[in-house]
């Protein structure tokens, strides 16, 4: 087999059959597609096509579409790479072909936390994939969309002073230019916990802040007075560039114990609202955070505001549920429906054939039907203080039972 042409990512391959009158080939090797992804019939004049048999010495030309072999990766995708990136540095490179990955060596220090970002304005939807590996090539972390939008981001604290490898790739084996950067994570701008906390003033200006890294929380001290009502709002639209998508607000007492929290304020937004009646005068803490602490939604800017006397109106409460239906005092109330028997004996009359009650003319009752009806009524005596007695006259009878065929061979009583 001899590769004889490369052109625009298509590869033409020449295969010569062995000597003999006819040679049957194995179809996975000689059923070839053309550039239109179809299989033309073999043409001896052009030596192109597909067939189960071909003359001895004939040649096949194969057109297929792997990545163009003339295009090779400029940066190896394994620990053999000699490309480097420094902390605080940026690299602009290219995913050259489908399936290409680029590896960069970086030196990190023990105990220092780093942020690695991989962005692209060229790869479709900016969907990059980022990997972190040991010096020997063992995977430590992998991320697809941990950064802004579809960009990839990894936050990593080095466990030793040593070299690591960063892998740059694209989702679904796409291609295009990208930007890779490595930086030390800055010191937290606002402490996560009770430690030199900045102060937010009730009825003062809103505080602008930024969640610096995944799992970050910003704690602010606020002075409250017993007997006063307060509202605290965390708004994720701090600016139009990188707003916090889904804020989450916590309220702690002076000992750092959680006493209230809120995700969404129930006004069709994802902003957070806590309404609180202070029972003790003193210092409390508001913690600005994100609903999820695992991806890009955990990062972004926010506005935090504290007001007194319910300065931010709450949504109206839902309407109260309807009252339950009245319940009977005892089981007999559900039997009389506004009427009352003169005694505990219920008389039952079975209409004769031709008698008419309530607009229905009775058919003849069979004795087994009468017996079955009386047995059914008799079951009530196990639960209520009633007896049922059959009478031969309709006059004064409590129940007058009529037998009638109501259609389809069905009897009604």
For residue 102, the domain's CATH number is: 2.60.120.380
Question: What is the sign, positive or negative, of the torsion defined by CA atoms of 390, 393, 399, 402?
Answer: positive
Domain boundary among 255, 289, 311: 311
Tokens representing 280 are 């003790």
Q: What is the pLDDT of residue 124?
A: 77
Do residues 129 and 174 share a domain? yes
Residue-level pLDDT at 1: 31
What is d(CA 55, CA 26) in angstroms, rounded to the nearest whole number? 15
Judgement on whether residues 355 and 305 belong to the same structural domain of the protein = no
> What is the rounded distance in angstroms from the CA atom of residue 124 to the CA atom of residue 2?
36
Domain co-membership, 171 together with 230: no
Same domain, 230 and 307: yes
The verdict on residue 125 lying in a domain is: yes
DSSP 58-97: -EEEEEE-S--TT---SS-SSTT---B--TT-EEEEEE-S
Does a structural domain hold residue 255?
A: yes
Domain end position, chosen among 169, 184, 199: 184
Euclidean distance between CA atoms 232 and 390, whole angstroms: 77
Let me know whether 219 and 157 are in one domain: no
- Residue 211 and residue 305 in one domain: yes
Q: What are the pLDDT tens digits along the chain (413 aa)?
A: 333 333 333 333 344 443 333 333 333 333 343 334 444 455 555 444 544 444 444 444 443 333 455 556 689 999 999 999 999 999 999 999 989 999 999 999 998 889 899 999 888 777 899 999 999 999 999 988 777 778 888 888 899 999 999 999 999 889 999 999 999 876 667 888 888 899 999 999 999 888 877 778 999 999 999 999 999 999 986 544 568 888 999 999 999 999 999 998 876 788 999 999 999 999 999 999 998 765 666 777 889 999 997 545 556 777 888 887 766 555 555 555 556 677 888 899 999 988 988 888 889 999 999 999 899 888 888 888 888 999 988 888 888 999 887 765 545 55
Same domain, 216 and 178: no
> Do 99 and 176 share a structural domain?
yes
Is residue 412 in a domain?
Answer: no
pLDDT score of 30: 39
192 within domain boundaries: no
Domain presence at residue 318: no
Structural domain tally of the chain? 3
Report yes or no on 328 lying in a domain. no
In-domain check, residue 236: yes
Give, in order, the Cα–Cα distances in Å from 348 to each of 321, 336, 383.
44, 16, 19
Separation CA 386–CA 334 (nearest Å):
14
145 and 231 fall within a common domain: no
Separation CA 369–CA 80 (nearest Å): 96
- The answer on 255 and 179 residing in a single domain is no
Q: Are 351 and 402 in contact (CB under 8 A)?
A: yes
Q: How far is CA 312 from CA 11, 225, 265, in A?
A: 68, 18, 11
How do strand 345-350 and strand 387-391 relate by DSSP bridges? parallel
Report pLDDT for 25: 33
**Quick one: tokens of 388?**
């049922």
- Tell me: do 303 and 359 sit in the same domain: no
Q: Which domain holds residue 217?
A: 207-311
Looking at 288, 311, 334, the residue that finishes a domain is: 311
In DSSP terms, which residues pair with 93 in a beta bridge? 178
Taking the C-alpha atoms of residue 133 and residue 78, their distance in angstroms, rounded to an integer, is 10
Residue 105 has which token pair? 């060596």
**Is 221 within the bounds of a domain?**
yes
């Amino acid at each position: 087999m001899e590769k004889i042409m490369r052109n625009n990512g298509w590869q033409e391959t020449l295969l010569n059959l062995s000597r003999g009158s006819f040679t049957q080939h194995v179809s996975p090797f000689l059923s070839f597609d053309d550039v239109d992804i179809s299989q033309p019939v073999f043409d001896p004049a052009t030596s192109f096509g597909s067939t189960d048999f071909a003359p001895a010495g004939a040649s096949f030309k194969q057109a297929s579409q792997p990545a163009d072999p003339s295009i090779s990766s400029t940066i190896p995708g394994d620990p053999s790479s000699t490309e480097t990136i420094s902390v605080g540095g940026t690299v602009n490179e290219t995913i050259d072909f489908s399936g290409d990955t680029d590896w960069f060596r970086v030196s990190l220090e023990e105990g220092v936390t780093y942020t690695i970002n991989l962005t692209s304005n060229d790869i479709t939807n900016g969907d990059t994939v980022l990997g972190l590996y040991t010096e020997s090539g063992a995977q430590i972390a992998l991320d697809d969309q941990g950064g802004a939008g579809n960009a990839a981001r990894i936050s990593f604290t080095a466990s030793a002073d040593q070299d690591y490898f960063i892998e740059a790739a694209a989702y679904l084996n796409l291609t295009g230019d990208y930007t890779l950067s490595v930086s030390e994570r800055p010191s937290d701008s606002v402490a996560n916990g009770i430690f030199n906390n900045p102060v937010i003033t009730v009825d003062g200006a809103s505080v602008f802040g930024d969640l610096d890294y995944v799992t970050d929380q910003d704690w602010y001290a606020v002075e409250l007075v017993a007997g006063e009502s307060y509202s605290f709002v965390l708004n994720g639209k701090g600016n139009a560039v990188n707003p916090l998508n889904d804020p989450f607000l916590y309220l702690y007492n002076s000992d750092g114990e959680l006493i209230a929290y809120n995700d969404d304020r129930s006004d069709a937004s994802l902003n957070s609202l806590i309404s609180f009646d202070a029972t003790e005068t003193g210092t409390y803490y508001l913690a600005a955070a994100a609903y999820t602490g695992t991806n890009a939604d955990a990062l972004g800017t926010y506005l935090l505001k504290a007001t007194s006397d319910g300065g931010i109106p709450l949504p109206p409460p839902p309407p109260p549920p309807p009252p339950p239906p009245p319940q009977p005092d005892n089981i007999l109330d559900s039997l009389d429906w506004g009427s009352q028997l003169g005694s505990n004996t219920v008389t039952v009359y079975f209409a004769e054939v031709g008698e008419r009650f309530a607009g229905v003319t009775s058919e003849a009752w069979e004795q087994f039907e009468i017996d079955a009806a009386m047995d059914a009524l008799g079951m009530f005596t196990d639960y209520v203080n009633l007896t049922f007695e059959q009478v031969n006259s309709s006059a004064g009878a409590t129940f007058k039972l009529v037998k009638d065929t109501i259609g389809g061979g069905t009897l009604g009583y």
